[in-house]
Amino acid sequence: MTAGAMYDFEENGRLTAQAALSILNDQGRIEAPTFAPLPARCTANATQLERYGLSSAALPTDCGVIDYPKSIFRVYRGVVLTALAVLLAQTLTIVALLAQRRSRRLAEAEVAVRRSELARAARFATVGELSASIAHEVGQPLGAILSNADAAELLVKASHPDAGELGEILSDVERDALRASEVVQRLRSLLQKQSVAFGSLPFDATLQCALKLIAPEAKRRNISVEENFDAGNAEIVGDAVQIQQVLLNLAINAMDAMQDTGQSSRILTLGTKRLANGMELTVADRGCSFGSASAPRLFEPFYTTKPHGMGLGLSIVRSIVEAPHGCVGAAARDGGGTVFTVWLPCASELTDADAAGAPHVQPRAPTASHPGNTAPRTCS
């Protein structure tokens, strides 16, 4: 049956029970029937309505609907509600984790930007320290150009100017102008505001560029430079300016440490070599080494023992070296002085994410300051 007039058996039962109670209360006296017969009520079967495509909205308002089709929700209401709650909780957890991951990435990117700005500010300070030798490096060729220009002027004013000699003077002027412009160019590339660009770099050639700034300063301080760059064409991953900054910072510290060293020992020794597991740079001096109390603090930001030091050089070195998962360490030398050793993985050793210098990648090599402790890896 789909719909029709039906007795409501529940109502019927209720009224019958009421009648029985009333008889019992009246102690068995049965009088004329007190109750009107139960009217039939309009009742519709929901399953049948649905089967024939009939809408229950068309039923009279007092019409009862029975036998609703059994949906999964009706049958397993408790289980379905629990599952929905678990799903909702999982979704909320995932959304929260994604939001957390995103904000961590943003924070890491922000830290990387701040770090590179700090490194650049420190480069300005380094150039400030080198300003005397830089002024000399630029001033010398400019002075030579001036003298050559004077000589050329005299020659031109002569009754029979010697074209050959004039040509020689002009080529000297050109050479000196190039020399001065190279110094300016080197400074510009060191100080230019540029985003950090990680890429494969020839280790030795990159460091040689920094050496051109170090050499005049060493000369000014009466320090001789010994260089043993033996890494050949081996490549590392990094930013050229930052790698040069590593050498500059270590070399300037080494020269500072030799301030009171006797003339015969004022030697700055720079060396590179290719190891089985990466590339090594050593910067050694014969200066006053740091004490054992200072050793654990050397790479801390703002740790300095110099009257005008900022204490940022070594901490910047460490952050640069650790970006491609390298490490840096310091040790006292036999016979006096200090040797700083930087270890960097070969370009071929790094994954793409490592090579990008992604700050979120965990270091594979130890970040502690002892490269000798790193697990051996092979540069192919």
**In the complex, least distance from residue 287 CB atom to ligand ADP, rounded to whole angstroms:** 5
- Bridge-based pairing of strands 267-275 and 224-229 is parallel
Short-list 179, 261, 188, 172, CA closest to 221: 261
In order, the DSSP letters of 131-149 are HHHHHHHHHHHHHHHHHHH
**In the complex, least distance from residue 294 CB atom to ligand ADP, rounded to whole angstroms:** 6
Short-list 229, 273, 233, 275, CA closest to 375: 275
Other C-beta atoms closer than 10 Å to the C-beta of 186 total 18
* 128/167 with CB nearer ligand ADP: 128
**In the complex, least distance from residue 225 CB atom to ligand ADP, rounded to whole angstroms:** 14
**In the complex, least distance from residue 118 CB atom to ligand ADP, rounded to whole angstroms:** 12
List the end-to-end C-alpha distance of the chain, in Å, as a whole number: 85
**In the complex, least distance from residue 312 CB atom to ligand ADP, rounded to whole angstroms:** 6
* 313/329 with CB nearer ligand ADP: 313
* 317/346 with CB nearer ligand ADP: 317
* 33/307 with CB nearer ligand ADP: 307
**In the complex, least distance from residue 99 CB atom to ligand ADP, rounded to whole angstroms:** 37
Phi and psi for 378 in degrees, rounded to 5? -110, 135
Short-list 343, 353, 292, CA closest to 320: 343
Instruction: Tell me how many degrees the CA angle 303-308-310 measures, rounded to the nearest 5.
Output: 35
Short-list 209, 199, 202, CA closest to 251: 209
Identify the three-state secondary structure at position 357.
Answer: coil
Report the alpha-carbon distance of residue 366 to residue 300 in Å, rounded: 17
* 231/257 with CB nearer ligand ADP: 257
* 225/358 with CB nearer ligand ADP: 225
**What residues line the site for ligand ADP (CB under 6 A)?**
249, 253-254, 257, 285, 287, 289-290, 294, 298, 303-306, 309-315, 338
The residue nearest ligand ADP at its CB is 313
* 309/359 with CB nearer ligand ADP: 309
**In the complex, least distance from residue 290 CB atom to ligand ADP, rounded to whole angstroms:** 4
